[in-house]
Structure 1
Amino acid sequence: MKNLNLSFSLTSAILGGNLLILSPVIGQTNLNSNPIEEASLSNSGGLPLVTYNPESEEETTIEKIEKLYSGPPPVLDDLDETITNVNQLLDVTPGHWAYQALQSLIEKYRCISGSPGRNFNGNRAMTRYEFAAGLNACLTSIRRLIESFNNQFPQKEDLLVIERLQAEFATELKNITAKIDNVEQRVAFIEGHQFSPTTVLRGSANFGLISTFGDRKAVSPGIRSREKLDDEVTLSGAVVLNFDTSFTGKDRLRTQLVAGNTNNFGRGVTGTEMSRLLTINTGNNIRLGTLFYQFPLGKRGVIAIAPIADFPTRIFPAFNPVSSISNFGAESPIYSFAFGGGGVIYYNFTDKLAGGISYLSDSLSNVSEGLFKGQYTVLSQISYTPTEQFGFAFTYGHYYAPEPGITNNITGSKGSVFGQFPFGTSTATSSNAFGLQFTYKISPKLILGGWVSYFNAKAEASPSVSGLNGFRGAQAEIWSWALTAFLADLGKTSSQLSFVFGMPPRVISNDVFGREDRDTSLHFELSYRYPVTDRIFIIPGFLVVTNPEHNAANPPIWVGLIRTSFSF
């Protein structure tokens, strides 16, 4: 009996030493390799933002990370180059002695917990590499058992079986060990150089050639244009950086920095905002673009609080499938006059019915105006999607501005000058607006959309402050509509063709004489988003506005661009 105990102790000691060499602990660090998404706030799935000192490193940190994320893992020095490819080895069948031996160890020591019943799944044959992975897990479990000092030692017969399995699968175990070491090295490096464990950096850089075409600049009805339209080609760019921070994993604090020098090709260039593009122009200075905090409301809702530059369609569905290059084509005008600081709430009552409300203002930080005495917009929406192919929304908004010429105007800089300022730029103005938006999916690749919007504006002061002949309480009616279409995968997978056709906001009646739009402008737009890679896109596009400023005396205005977009 004493001889048996001595033999058992020696064998255990020898086995413990072998296990320490051949079987490192699996999965000591949990690497989140999910791609970066809006709902994910772990930055380990993308390229982390890092810094380095070129004087202290022969190879830059960025170069190291590129090696980690591209190509096969580096070959370790201690990995024998003569190891046979596991694809060339025979499978381990359920009748193989090793299969039965490992199955017995698993049942006895519970060393595989990832499958139901902590056992093999079915009776299929296993590759030697799969078998070695299971064996490695058992070796690790038994090693921990030996080191636990609880006197629950493996039986002598089991130790002999383990030694035989180690000898039989030494090649595969060595290969697994090398791969685990490589993964641990990569995890340690990424964790040591990640931007932040709670903050994700996303961004984009855009560079574009833009030009306008036409005879003369647009003017309002009753005036004849004589100023020539400049048609020089420009080259400009902009950068957007979004820092998303989470404190609970379900909330998001976004801090956005922007910089650029891209002209919007609006009134200052063409004489009308109907040609306005979606651009960023900060004079190449870095500015805070937006700042908001968003968190869940129960299991089906969301709340956002924003002191700077928020907008409802970041949460409200706009039911516009296209990716537009223009200010008009981006969304219905009923959303565009709601912008600034404030709060947004949106809640899904059912899987088909949802609703929300927002209060946004440009005057939050002004001590003389604050939340309620300055410019503000209250916007509410009910969204209904009865099927996966069709959805629509009804939107109501109330707008007020003591001086719309220095804040967000009544149509969000869309449409004619009369539409934006029906009673002048200095007259206090309010508006009740109604909008109907829809989307219809004809096929997975072809989606239609559209909207119609109506604004009933009211002069809250005498228009005479703007030099106009009118009275307090004067009213004006403004209409706008559009049809949009989106076609995916045309020419290449992930490409997007977008089309917009509509009427920019137009004043059809006004109690103030001379501020009605006599004619009708139409907006035609076509753009194509071509993916060079999954992060580089080339976007050619153009738009044309007929009868700009709803004035038939104005010749058409064309705007063309070709833009390259880099996202990271």
Structure 2
Amino acid sequence: MKLFQQLLVAPAALGLLAPLAVDANRSANAAELNINGVSDYAATGEQVTSISQFSDVYPTDWAYQALSNLIERYGCVAGYPNGTYRGNRAMTRYEAAALLNACLDRITEVTDELKRLMKEFEKELAILKGRVDGLEARVGELEATQFSTTTKLKGKTTFVMGATTAGGNNGYKYYGTKLRDKTAFDKKGKKGGADAYNRNYGAFTFNYDQRLVFDTSFTGKDKLRVRLRTGNFTKGLNAFSGSGVNLAALDVATDSGVAGSNRIANNVKLDRLYYKFPIGKEFTAFVGAEARNTEALAIWPSVYNKGGAKILDWTALMGTSGVYNKETGQLIGAYWKQKVKKGENAWSVSANYVADSGNGNSSNAREGGFMTDNSEASFLAQLGYGGSRWGAAFAYRYGQCDSGNGLRRGTEFAKNNSWNNNCVFENANGVDKRQDSSSNSYALNAYWQPEEAGWIPSVSLGWALNTVSADNLVEETPTESQSWMVGLKWDDVFLKGNDMGFAVGQPTFATSLKNCTKASKKAGTCNETPFDGNYVFEWYYNFQVTDNIAITPAVFYLSRPMGQYTSNLAKNGGGYDGQFNVFGGLVQTTFKF
């Protein structure tokens, strides 16, 4: 008998022979051949289909499961005419032979059917075998070449080719305090305006951003992230890094140049290092030596860039950059998120503290430290409620003086930190003194998206209010500012996987100024009413070439990026009819691996 048949017969034989060992007395009687009993058993031929047909077999019997398997799998067990099995009766060799023969007949039928099926699907089985062998070889190769069993490597390469151009007036005239109002584009400081901007920042450029991310998990639920980054968007030289006007900065722009030699790029820097781990089922904690406040949140209350592309830094921050200012440094934080089914709306609460990079790791108590008055830190808190279709969040950020990125993006007038939220000011004696200054920012963001892609786009909204206070604010200082944005995104435009986005809004602009003195009013050197209005427009089309390659043409327009400083460009040399705008166009290509 072949091995395969032996394996099939084994349970049958054990089930049949089990009654032989019931007890010694009954075994002794097995020697007495009962010809009539054998004849009765062999003559019945009444095969049963369920063990419940035996009136004398109960679930508590020790061989109940073995007998049930023989009936259900092989159908080779017969009973006596009166519907009994008589499991406690001694079994003769003739009875065993009869039952074994019946089971072997059934096993033969099964094996014949298997042979027929194997022959019929011989080609398919050969293909499957080849695939399994190939998979085994590939798994073996991966195991031999993997650098870690706990770490995954992800990469993202971005190429940006494009340029900006300015339009408007060319004249430039100072008035008031030069430190406050000097926003010329001419490096010699003699002339400003559109021509000066185009001369210094109007060339066509080819830039890149490269990121390598190492994600390590020790439990399957935690994550240790290490990110290396490099790029050649050199600050002070490249328009897309925010040089000239900060609102032209792209989300991917990074400058990895060495301090003191800003023309030398291509240096690799560690720009993320944090550990994220769960506490229970609904809490998550963050600890980072180099981490960002916007990445330590339970939800991101916008879908404008989700699945699409990120172009301008300001639109990528939902138009509320005063709150979500990408403060990066030494971070501690946590969030709670309600446990619900995937896609359903859930409540969440997030909070984190970030000491500005360069301060939180300094031991000089007068200039740095972690959680000190000189940490130049940001505290961000967010209350959110959202799911896959819609959601909303209210957020608050407190910033210490000189808190890193501060309001991050806005008009040159509203964002000028040299007067806005500076820790150090020059007193009447010409001596630098440290002052107590801070900013408070509030944001409301919401989003909605349709169930299916079509003509109706997703909608993302954002509005923010910022206030600034300090011991010594100069005249005409913006003490209050606002911003707002509307982002529309269409999914699967022309082809499945391609997205189109359009955004419009007003980046941070001054809405209230510190009161002027009577003397400055009379001299005409201070204005109580802000003239800081401006608009940003952005359009992009994200063409998904493959799962790993995307090409995104984009254009943007900044109507008045200098804000109130634009008045300095007025032809009459002091009015508010100056004109200055910036138009940008680019092609962004992204490779992911």
TM range (shorter): 0.5 to 0.7
Q: What residue is the counterpart of 2:420 in the other structure? A: 423
Query: Aligned pair 1:534/2:557, yes or no?
Result: no
1:508 CA drift (Å): 1.8
Taking the aligned partners of 1:218 and 1:384, their CA distance within structure 2 comes to 50
- After superposition, residues 149-228 of structure 1 pair within 5 angstroms as 160=108, 164=112, 167-171=115-119, 172=121, 175=126, 176-215=128-167, 225-226=192-193, 227-228=196-197
- After TM superposition, list the pairs within 5 Å mapping 1:5-404 onto structure 2: 11-12=2-3, 160=108, 164=112, 167-171=115-119, 172=121, 175=126, 176-215=128-167, 225-226=192-193, 227-230=196-199, 231-263=202-234, 265-266=238-239, 271-278=244-251, 279-282=253-256, 283-323=265-305, 324-331=310-317, 332-333=320-321, 334-336=323-325, 338-349=327-338, 351-362=345-356, 363-368=359-364, 369-373=368-372, 374-385=375-386, 389-401=389-401, 404=402
Q: Report how far residue 519 of structure 1 moved.
A: 3.2
Q: CA deviation at 1:313?
A: 4.2
SS in 2 for 1:444: coil
Counterparts in 2 of 1:195 and 1:168: CA distance versus 1, 3 Å: same
Contact 2:383/2:394 (8 A) holds in 1: yes
- Report SS of the residue matched to 2:198: coil
Answering whether residue 441 of structure 2 is matched by residue 433 of structure 1, we say yes
1:13–1:498 Cα change, 3 Å: closer
Equivalent residue for 1:483?
Answer: 486
SS, match of residue 214 in structure 1: strand
Task: Flag the 1:270–1:204 CA change in 2: closer, same or farther, 3 A.
Answer: closer
Equivalent position amino acid for 2:472 in 1 = S
Match of 2:553, SS state, is strand
Q: In structure 2, which of residues 529, 532, 539 is the aligned counterpart of residue 519 of structure 1? A: 532
Q: What SS class does the counterpart of residue 538 from structure 1 fall into?
A: strand
Q: Please point out which of 554, 563, 567 is paired with 2:588.
A: 563
User: Secondary structure at the residue paired with 2:580?
Assistant: coil
- The residue type paired with residue 441 of structure 1 is Q
Contact 1:209–1:563 (Cα < 8 Å) also in 2: yes
Question: Which residue identity lines up with residue 287 of structure 1 in the other structure?
Answer: K
The secondary structure found in structure 2 opposite 1:229 is: helix
Counterpart amino acid of residue 451 in structure 1? G
Structure 2 equivalent of residue 545 of structure 1 = 558
In structure 2, the CA distance between the partners of 1:109 and 1:412, relative to structure 1 (3 Å rule), is farther
8 Å Cα contact 2:438-2:469 kept in structure 1: yes
Query: Structure 1: how far apart are the matches of 2:326 and 2:129?
Result: 61
TM-align CA RMSD:
3.5
Whether the 8 Å contact between 1:498 and 1:526 is mirrored in structure 2 is yes
**Is the 2:440–2:468 contact (alpha carbons within 8 Å) kept by the matching residues of 1?**
yes
Deviation at 1:215, TM superposition (A): 3.6
State the AA in 2 paired with 1:288: L
- Counting aligned pairs with the same residue, the percent is 21
- Asked whether 1:448 is paired with 2:462, we answer no
Q: Distance in 2 between matches of 1:521 and 1:485?
A: 20
Partners of 2:292 and 2:326 within 8 A in 1: no
* Offset of residue 503 of structure 1: 0.8
- Structure 1 residue aligned with 2:21: none
When residues 567 and 337 of structure 1 are mapped into structure 2, their CA distance, relative to the original with a 3 A threshold, is: closer
Quick one: which amino acid aligns to residue 275 of structure 1? A
- The answer (yes or no) to whether the contact 1:381–1:393 under 8 Å persists in 2 is yes
> Which amino acid letter does the alignment assign opposite residue 299 of structure 1?
K
Q: What's the offset of the Cα at 1:357?
A: 0.7
| TM-superposition CA deviations, 1:527-546 (whole Å, max 9, x none) | 11110011100011111111
Secondary structure of the residue that 1:183 maps to in structure 2? Answer: helix
Equivalenced residue count is: 418
Residues 295, 228 of structure 1: alpha-carbon distance in 2 compared, 3 angstrom cutoff:
closer
Secondary structure, aligned partner of 2:254: coil
Partner of 2:406: 410
Equivalent-residue separation in structure 1 for 2:204 and 2:314 (angstroms): 22
Alpha-carbon separation, structure 2, partners of 1:457 and 1:413? 15
Q: 1: CA distance between counterparts of 2:230 and 2:106? A: 68
SS state at 1:184 partner? helix
Deviation at 1:415, TM superposition (A): 3.5
Contact 2:379 2:397 in 1 (8 A): yes
CA separation of 1:161 and 1:352: change in aligned 2, threshold 3 A: same
CA distance in 2, matches of 1:286, 1:337: 20
Secondary structure of residue in 2 paired with 1:548: coil
Contact 2:413 2:532 in 1 (8 A): no
* Distance of 1:358 and 1:280 partners within structure 2: 24
Any idea what SS the aligned residue of 1:306 has? strand
CA distance 1:179–1:469, change in 2 (3 Å) = closer
Q: Aligned residue for 1:140?
A: none
Provide the C-alpha distance between the structure 1 equivalents of 2:397 and 2:509, rounded to a whole number of angstroms.
18
Judged with a 3 Å threshold, the aligned counterparts in structure 2 of structure 1 residues 408 and 420 are, in CA distance, closer, same or farther, namely farther
Query: For residues 112-134 of structure 1, what are the alpha-carbon distances to aligned partners after superposition, in whole Å with 9 as ceiling and x for unaligned?
Result: xxxxx999xxxxxxxxxxxxxxx
AA in 1 matched with 2:247: M
CA distance in 2, matches of 1:218, 1:289: 41
Give TM-score, length-normalised by structure 1. Answer: 0.66
1:218/1:556 CA distance change after superposition, 3 Å:
farther
User: Secondary structure of the residue that 1:321 maps to in structure 2?
Assistant: coil
CA distance in 1, matches of 2:275, 2:266: 27
Q: Is the 8 A contact 2:349 2:382 kept in 1?
A: yes
Judged with a 3 Å threshold, the aligned counterparts in structure 2 of structure 1 residues 299 and 380 are, in CA distance, closer, same or farther, namely same
1:25 maps to none
Which residue of structure 2 lines up, in the alignment, with residue 125 of structure 1?
Answer: none
1:110 shift after superposition: 12
* Matched residue, 1:83: none
Provide the TM-score with structure 2 as the length reference.
0.63
Is the Cα contact below 8 Å between 1:218 and 1:272 reproduced in 2?
no
| 1:304 Cα deviation from its structure 2 partner | 1.3
Measured in 2, the distance between the counterparts of 1:110 and 1:535 equals 56
> What do the CA deviations read for 1:289-347 (whole angstroms, capped 9, x no partner)?
20111111321232111110322345343322222311111112111164322122111
In 1, are the aligned partners of 2:213 and 2:227 still within 8 Å (CA)? yes
Q: What code does the residue aligned with 2:156 have?
A: S
The alpha-carbon distance between structure 1 residues 272 and 180, as it changes in their structure 2 partners (threshold 3 A), is closer
Distance 1:411 1:269 in 2: 14
User: Residues 248 and 415 of structure 1: is their aligned pair in 2 closer, same or farther, counting only changes over 3 Å?
Assistant: farther
| Residue 462 of structure 1: how far off its partner (Å) | 3.1
2:363 counterpart SS class: coil
How far apart in 1 are the matches of 2:298 and 2:198?
38
